[in-house]
A and B are shown apart, each in its own frame.
Chain A
Amino acid sequence: MLLNHARLVRFFIDANSIVGRKKLQKMIYILKKLNLPFDEKFAFHFYGPYSEELTLRIEELCNLGFVSEEKQDKGHYLQYQYTVTDAGLSFLEQAPDDLPLCKDEIELLKAQSSRFLELVSTMLFFDDLPPEEVEKKIHQVKASVNYSDADIKEAWRFIDQLKEGRVH
């Protein structure tokens, strides 16, 4: 019962707190691509893979008081910070989740900027293409973000590191 909600609460516990909605979206997408059991459906949007389902589920968790959402005014935009509440911890005691241990991956992802995670998640979105085609695609669909060849190289290395971590 409410297994998908429970998995997200577990994720927030493991992450301690997450700053930024874009970062949150990209982290869940990348974890899903690592075969972790997140059921939210993603589609490609202007800023890469995005899930309306995830957005709504987070809103539900906030409305239920399981996760707190703090809004910070950054001048040009609003930034949101998500943290699990005591009610969220109590919910998880009664409605257990089945999320495998992935604290290391979460820590790795959390340490990256949302701009970098946008690149990584977009590369993973095109993972049915050969690497050179993926890079071509990045320059096409992310022209305005202007990722450098070094950024892309670092993203490949990061993806390998993540996949390696899941294997072991």
Chain B
Amino acid sequence: MAYRDEKLREEKVFKDPVHRYIHVRDRAIWDLIGTREFQRLRRIKQLGTTFLTFHGAEHSRFNHSLGVYEIVRRILTNFEGRSNWNPEERLLCLAAALLHDLGHGPFSHSFEKVFKLDHEDFTKAIILGDTEINQILQRVEPKFPEKVAEVINKTYHDKLVVSLISSQIDADRMDYLQRDAYFTGVSYGHFDMERILRVMRPLDDQVVIKQSGMHAVEDYIMSRYQMYWQVYFHPVSRSAEVILSKILHRVKHLHNQHYQFKQEPKHFLSFFAGDVTLTDYINLDETIVMYYFQAWINEDDVILSDLCRRFTNRKLFQYVEFNPKQQIKESIELFQLFEAINLDPDYYLVVDSSSDLPYDFYRPGEEGERLPIYLLTPQDELQELSRASDIVESISGKKRTDHKLYYPADLIEALPDDQPEKARIKVLLGLE
């Protein structure tokens, strides 16, 4: 029997708190899960620094990847026998779902910003490179790795296949919303996924939703909106993210200045040089990063030591709301005052904006930028979701944005009371 059709003698199941069970019958899927590159995802947290706000949020990209695979498996079971669906694409969809986050690195978001990387490039590199993943995909078919990479990169010719993994209502979002809600313990993020899966229909090059399922989709859209503001963009998690970014900037700066580290940043050298190899990338996970942060607490550089202590021991920056239009002059004055008290504002006075963490809100596809969610009416006509739903219409038109100014309150408070800058800083930060 060809490898692509090979089934396990007995179905394997993973117990899962979100989907109850994750079912694996295909030999290739089972083999992919066992590779070192996929197992590495156990050591990358799904929500990065959010565990410092919601202590339960320790779940990994491994959990999430299995969850996305399971949702796609269930969607495809519902698609069986329907027109517009090509069953030959089944294994491709499952493999792409399983591997879609393979290239995420430790604390992905900050790493990508500081070192100008893109995890999607590394997903592609792992799938196409000299890896265990590639060997298994090659066994399916020599062109299979390329096809999987194209689906994940959203450049595969069959847009229906792509839309299962990446669209405005896809398996990726349906898993992470529920999983992140479960592990953070919040009550947002819940919606009737079983209902949505039952009303999904393949139509030409996209997945559409039967009109009767509109209310279940409304719940899903509301979940996205609430999870963003309540969990993903939580100001305390953002504070941790700000400190994390500043640690990476500092350590890179010190390396460029030929600073003599007590703990050499060996795992980071190719990141500093901008020539990260696949091996270096795969070898760096969150356990290693946390090891360095702990060690760097003992460095002589005061800024690096302080930032690492803050991240490791959760001594985060405080924040105030910041309106760049009304307060730009004040922020410049604060910048100068921080310099005057020897607190480097490049590290200790940071503006964070909602666009720094762009979780995608539902967009009704104006001017054809992103494909919207379409409802399929009983007359077989398509209707864009926000035109049918007042609830969705009200939040998709709402442009709420946010800016905060982060600073180390403890260091400001520790200044002597007779230090002339102290009182002015507190006034500008609204502390007095």
* Same complex: yes
Residue ranges of A at the interface with B (Cβ–Cβ < 8 Å):
1-2, 4-5, 20-22, 25, 39, 41, 43-47, 50, 52-53, 55-57, 59-60, 62-66, 77-80, 87, 91, 94-95, 125-126, 137, 140-141, 143
Given contacts A2-B351, A2-B353, A59-B399, contact A64 B325 (CB under 8 A): yes
Contact A63 B401 (CB under 8 A): yes
Contact residues of B between 350 and 397, Cβ < 8 Å to A: 351, 353-355, 358, 360, 363, 366-371
Given contacts A46-B371, A77-B367, could you give 13 more A-B pairs where the C-beta distance is less than 8 Å? A25-B369, A44-B155, A46-B368, A50-B369, A50-B370, A52-B360, A55-B363, A56-B354, A59-B399, A78-B367, A126-B155, A140-B155, A140-B157
- In the assembled complex, 14 residue pairs joining A and B whose CB atoms fall closer than 8 Å, in A order, are A1-B332, A46-B368, A46-B371, A50-B369, A52-B360, A60-B354, A64-B323, A79-B367, A80-B367, A94-B328, A94-B332, A95-B324, A125-B155, A143-B157
Cβ of A70 to closest chain B Cβ, rounded Å: 14
Partner pick for A2 among B153, B324, B370, B401, CB 8 A cutoff? B324
Identify the closest chain A residue to B162 (Cβ). Answer: A46
- By size class, the interface of chain B is 20 to 34
Cβ of A80 to closest chain B Cβ, rounded Å: 7
Instruction: Name the residue among A2, A20, A78 with the largest chain B CB count within 10 angstroms.
Output: A2
Tell me, in angstroms, the Cα distance from A150 to B154 when the chains sit together: 26
Partner pick for A41 among B112, B353, B401, CB 8 A cutoff? B112
Contact B324 A64 (CB under 8 A): yes
Chain B residues in 8 Å Cβ range of A57: 353, 355
Contact A44 B153 (CB under 8 A): yes
Chain B residues in 8 Å Cβ range of A78: 366-367
Cβ of A126 to closest chain B Cβ, rounded Å: 8
Tell me, in angstroms, the Cα distance from A59 to B361 when the chains sit together: 12
Cβ of B14 to closest chain A Cβ, rounded Å: 29
Tell me, in angstroms, the Cα distance from A118 to B351 when the chains sit together: 33
Identify the closest chain A residue to B354 (Cβ). Answer: A56
Tell me, in angstroms, the Cα distance from A55 to B159 when the chains sit together: 23
Tell me, in angstroms, the Cα distance from A48 to B320 when the chains sit together: 38
Determine whether B301 belongs to the interface, using a CB cutoff of 8 Å to chain A: no
Partner pick for A141 among B157, B329, B332, CB 8 A cutoff? B157
Cβ of B149 to closest chain A Cβ, rounded Å: 12
Chain A residues in 8 Å Cβ range of B366: 21, 77-78, 80
Contact B367 A45 (CB under 8 A): no
Determine whether B63 belongs to the interface, using a CB cutoff of 8 Å to chain A: no
Chain A residues in 8 Å Cβ range of B153: 44
Chain A residues in 8 Å Cβ range of B155: 44, 125-126, 137, 140-141
Identify the closest chain A residue to B109 (Cβ). Answer: A41
Contact A66 B325 (CB under 8 A): yes
Determine whether B218 belongs to the interface, using a CB cutoff of 8 Å to chain A: no
Contact B157 A21 (CB under 8 A): no
Cβ of A2 to closest chain B Cβ, rounded Å: 6
Determine whether B331 belongs to the interface, using a CB cutoff of 8 Å to chain A: yes
Contact residues of B between 301 and 343, Cβ < 8 Å to A: 323-325, 328-329, 331-332, 335
Chain B residues in 8 Å Cβ range of A20: 367
Contact B329 A94 (CB under 8 A): yes
Contact B351 A1 (CB under 8 A): yes
Chain B residues in 8 Å Cβ range of A25: 369
Tell me, in angstroms, the Cα distance from A87 to B157 when the chains sit together: 45
Contact A77 B358 (CB under 8 A): no
Contact A43 B335 (CB under 8 A): no
Chain B residues in 8 Å Cβ range of A55: 358, 363, 369
Identify the closest chain A residue to B403 (Cβ). Answer: A60
Chain A residues in 8 Å Cβ range of B351: 1-2
Instruction: Name the residue among B354, B355, B366 with the largest chain A CB count within 10 angstroms.
Output: B355
Given contacts A45-B370, A56-B401, A60-B403, contact A91 B157 (CB under 8 A): no
Determine whether B118 belongs to the interface, using a CB cutoff of 8 Å to chain A: yes
Identify the closest chain B residue to A50 (Cβ). Answer: B369
